[in-house]
Amino acid sequence: MAAEHLDVVVVGAGLSGIGAAYRLQTEHPGRSYAILEAREALGGTWDLFRYPGIRSDSDMFTLGYPFEPWRDPKSIADGPSILRYITETARQYGIDERIRYGTKVIGAEWSSEDARWTLTLEQGGERRTLTCGFLYCCAGYYNYDEGHTPEFPGADSFAGQLVYPQFWPENLDYAGKRVVVIGSGATAVTLVPAMAEQAELVTMLQRSPTWISPVPGRDKYADRIRELLPPKLAHRVIRTKNILFNVGFYQYCRRRPEAARKLLTGLSTRILKDEKLVAEHFTPSYNPWDQRLCAVPDADFFKAMKKGAAEVVTDHIDSFVPEGIRLASGRVLEADIVVSATGLKLLAFGGISLTVDGAPVDLSDQFVWQGAMLTGVPNFAVCIGYTNASWTLRADLTSRLVCKVLAHMDRRGYRAVVPRPEGHLDERPLLDLASGYIQRSIGDFPRQGDRHPWRVRQNYLLDSATTMRTNLDKTLKPVDRTRALQEV
Ligand SMILES: Cc1cc2nc3c(=O)[nH]c(=O)nc-3n(C[C@H](O)[C@H](O)[C@H](O)COP(=O)(O)OP(=O)(O)OC[C@H]3O[C@@H](n4cnc5c(N)ncnc54)[C@H](O)[C@@H]3O)c2cc1C
pLDDT tens column, 360-391: 999 999 999 999 999 999 999 999 999 889 99
What mean pLDDT comes out for the span 79-105?
98
Does the C-beta of 45 come closer than 6 Å to ligand 1? Answer: yes
Strands (E), 18-166: 33-36, 99-100, 103-111, 116-123, 126-137, 161-163
Does the C-beta of 350 come closer than 6 Å to ligand 1? Answer: yes
**CA–CA–CA angle 223, 214, 272 (5° rounding):** 130
pLDDT band at 458 (very low <50, low <70, confident <90, very high): confident
pLDDT band at 275 (very low <50, low <70, confident <90, very high): very high
φ and ψ of 272, to 5 deg: -80, -20
What mean pLDDT comes out for the span 135-148?
95
**CA 15 – ligand 1 centroid, Å:** 7
Cα separation, 179 vs 199, whole angstroms: 7
- Looking from the CA of residue 352, the nearest atom of ligand 1 is 41
Does the C-beta of 34 come closer than 6 Å to ligand 1? Answer: no
φ and ψ of 461, to 5 deg: -60, -45
Residue 444 has pLDDT above 90, yes or no: no
Contact 165, 337 (CB under 8 A): no
Instruction: Write out pLDDT tens, residues 221-239.
Output: 999 999 999 999 999 999 9
Q: Choose the residue to mutate in 10, 22, 45, 87 for probing ligand 1, maximizing ligand atoms within 8 Å of C-beta.
A: 45
User: With b meaning 16 or more CB within 10 Å and e meaning fewer, what string describes 161-176?
Assistant: bbbbbbebeeeeebee
Q: How many CB atoms lie within 10 A of CB 27?
A: 15
Does the C-beta of 343 come closer than 6 Å to ligand 1? Answer: no
- Map residue 49 onto helix, strand or coil: coil
Residue 439: in which H helix or E strand, if any?
Answer: helix 436-441
Cα separation, 427 vs 438, whole angstroms: 17
φ and ψ of 136, to 5 deg: -120, 115
Percentage, residues of the chain above pLDDT 90? 89
Residues ≥6 apart with Cβ < 8 Å to 403: 23, 24, 27, 28
Cα separation, 145 vs 366, whole angstroms: 26
Cα separation, 89 vs 65, whole angstroms: 9
What mean pLDDT comes out for the span 129-136?
98
Q: Give me the helices (H) in 30-183, please.
A: 45-48, 60-63, 79-92
pLDDT band at 172 (very low <50, low <70, confident <90, very high): very high
Q: Is 232 left (phi over 0), alpha (psi -120 to 50) or beta?
A: alpha
Q: How many CB atoms lie within 10 A of CB 336?
A: 18
Cα separation, 138 vs 111, whole angstroms: 22
Bond preceding residue 453 cis, omega within 30 of 0:
yes
Does the C-beta of 383 come closer than 6 Å to ligand 1? Answer: yes
pLDDT band at 424 (very low <50, low <70, confident <90, very high): very high
Percentage, residues of the chain above pLDDT 70? 97
> pLDDT value at position 217?
87
**CA 14 – ligand 1 centroid, Å:** 6
End-to-end CA distance of the chain: 35
φ and ψ of 179, to 5 deg: -120, 135
Q: Is 155 left (phi over 0), alpha (psi -120 to 50) or beta?
A: alpha
Note if the pTM is more than 0.85. Answer: yes
- Looking from the CA of residue 54, the nearest atom of ligand 1 is 1
**CA 12 – ligand 1 centroid, Å:** 9
- Looking from the CA of residue 142, the nearest atom of ligand 1 is 30
Does the C-beta of 324 come closer than 6 Å to ligand 1? Answer: no
Does the C-beta of 65 come closer than 6 Å to ligand 1? Answer: no
**CA 232 – ligand 1 centroid, Å:** 25
Average pLDDT, the chain: 94
Instruction: Write out pLDDT tens, residues 298-332.
Output: 999 999 999 999 999 999 999 999 999 999 999 99
Residue 484 has pLDDT above 60, yes or no: no
Q: Choose the residue to mutate in 391, 433, 435 for probing ligand 1, maximizing ligand atoms within 8 Å of C-beta.
A: 391
pLDDT band at 118 (very low <50, low <70, confident <90, very high): very high
> pLDDT value at position 433?
65
- Map residue 444 onto helix, strand or coil: helix
Residue 391: Cβ-neighbour burial (10 angstroms; 0-12, 13-18, 19+): buried
Does the C-beta of 139 come closer than 6 Å to ligand 1? Answer: yes
What mean pLDDT comes out for the span 51-79?
95
Cα separation, 33 vs 173, whole angstroms: 44
Does the C-beta of 374 come closer than 6 Å to ligand 1? Answer: no
Q: How many CB atoms lie within 10 A of CB 81?
A: 16
